[in-house]
Chain A
Amino acid sequence: MSDLAAPMKTSAPLSGVLAKALLSPFWLRVALLAVVLALLEFYGRVYADPAFMSPPSLIVKAFFTKIAPQEKILEALWFCVAQISAAYALSVVFGVLIGLAIGATAFSRTAFLPIILLLFAIPQVALLPLVILLFGLGPAAKIAFGFSHGVFPIIMNVVAGMRDVKELHLRAARSMGASRMETIRHIILPHAVPSLFTGLRLGMTMTLLGVILAELYVSTGGIGYYTRVFAESYDPAPLFALTGCLAIIAVTFNELVRIAQNHLTPGKRRSPTLKIPVKE
């Protein structure tokens, strides 16, 4: 143990494949998930009350027998995706526009940012009944609630990105003769892009939360409705299958934003590989 230089040699008895698997982060992750699933399967089949818990294999089965064949549930899932997309689109458009407006000058930032911070700090769940009263039982309430969750992180991160621009970059641009508009276009906005994407990812998570919260609170035929039906009839397998579908939707949306981030952040685009000539 004390010899840090040669830990690999001592693990030689471990057979090659297993050692490789445990040393690769990916396979280690897969192994951990497999162990957790196996334990859940064991617990679910042997000990658990089938009214509250279901082993993973039955959940997968329930997806194919009770979720996939029911057109109404699939429709509800698609409808949920549509609501999230609409709420997110609104959050992005308004978040970026409001963020740019507030972040444009130190004056507007000092004047308006506290309002945004205050609104963001309010636990919006408490206002959900009011949102339902205002927007009704249909999709409008879900979109509104998703929007009100998603828009603030985007505004705050756009403002933060514009504020954190380096003094040295601004001074350099000014010394080169950049106009105010050129400075915004070529210095402040590109500098704010990474922060903007942080906001977009956070906004995505929050929009999902808002839409799904509203769905669960009141729904007459959406995902929330079916969740309640399955829960109240003590049928956990399709309930978990439905939850799994929501998780997959959430992960897909987050991945889309992440891929966009990797492709659109300047300086992180596919850049030529570094070749440092042997010198000095």
Chain B
Amino acid sequence: MSDTAISIRNITQRYGAADESSAVLALDDVSLDIKKGEFLCLLGPSGCGKSTLLNIVGGLFKPTSGTCLVNGRPVDGEPHPDKVAFVFQESTLFPWYTIIENFRIALKFQGIAQAEWDDRAMRALKAVGMASFAGHYPEQLSVGMRQRVNMARGICVETDILLMDEPFAALDEQTRMVLGEDLSQLLAATGKTIVFVTHSLAEAVFLSDRIVVMSARPGRIKTIINVNEPHPRSPDFMLEPRFSELRNECYALLRDEIRAAMAAQRDPQPQNAGA
């Protein structure tokens, strides 16, 4: 028990009433244990409920049924900012505040004493190499720089658990690889538990200890893939044959699900038509 940071038990999430034809079953009886200090990726086709699951763990959504325990305490649709921090896409930085003000407001919301704000903010900014931009507004920075800052904002609140909801989705591939390396470096030292939602196969393999591959809607856990590679990971890991093998394995698992997800979004097809 003490080894488990997050325990997801039989979570089902339905949007709309059960008897309605428009009701959508986003998550179907999902159970998962996440160990302390583990980096876990949720990988799956669009609309498979990855983000929904993350939001349930973070207490932003209340599941239709099932429970989620964080450090043994149930999350009941209420955020626990002292234990869990979120990192969303870079556009989550509040554009009306400067970088340092963005940190102060996050720390204020979290209830940290004012005396600590600037100290913590600058420490986190230094860790991502963005300390000299503290006085800038987000729109003055490039997208990659903004995401660096945004990650630092998630780190400065110093929670044990970090939930990352497609943080690199808006970035180009090169930038996301570089930021992924930095993230691996940064987090190896802290021992945080991280749940990371992504669409990118390479990102999932490069960063995770375990990859949870999810099925198309309704979201279920299809397979869990272990990546046995110590942190922090060097870019050389990407060149190893094992990296591409794992990546291909994920893709093979996902391909059918992506086809299924896309078929559900299209007109009904005749049974024998080659899809």
Contact = CB atoms under 8 A, between A and B. Distances in A.
B135 to A, nearest CB: 5
B139 A176 contact: no
Contacts, number: 74
Nearest to A175: B86
Interface in B69-91: 79, 81-82, 84-86, 88-89, 91
B105 A186 contact: yes
Contacts of B106: 176
Contact of B109 (A171, A173, A277): A173
Contact of A187 (B79, B94, B142): B94
**Interface on chain B toward A: helix, strand, loop, or mixed SS?**
loop
Given A168-B91, A182-B109, A190-B96, A176 B81 contact: yes
Given A174-B60, A176-B109, A176-B157, A271 B178 contact: no
Contacts of B191: none
A267 B111 contact: no
B88 A168 contact: yes
Nearest to B134: A272
B36 to A, nearest CB: 21
Given A267-B137, A271-B140, A177 B109 contact: yes
Contacts of A271: 98, 135-137, 140
B135 A272 contact: yes
B96 A193 contact: yes
Given A177-B109, A177-B110, A267 B60 contact: no
Given A266-B97, A272-B135, A169 B92 contact: yes
A197 to B, nearest CB: 13
Contacts of B178: 280
A271 B91 CA distance: 19
30 contacts: A168-B88, A168-B89, A168-B91, A169-B94, A171-B55, A171-B86, A172-B88, A173-B109, A175-B59, A175-B85, A176-B86, A176-B106, A176-B109, A176-B110, A177-B111, A178-B109, A182-B108, A182-B109, A186-B94, A186-B105, A186-B109, A190-B94, A190-B97, A191-B96, A266-B97, A267-B139, A271-B135, A271-B140, A276-B142, A276-B145
Interface of B: 55, 58-60, 79, 81-82, 84-86, 88-89, 91-92, 94-98, 105-106, 108-111, 132, 135-137, 139-142, 145, 157, 178
Given A172-B92, A175-B79, A275-B132, 14 more contacts: A174-B79, A175-B60, A177-B111, A182-B109, A186-B94, A190-B94, A190-B96, A266-B97, A267-B97, A267-B139, A271-B140, A274-B140, A274-B141, A276-B142
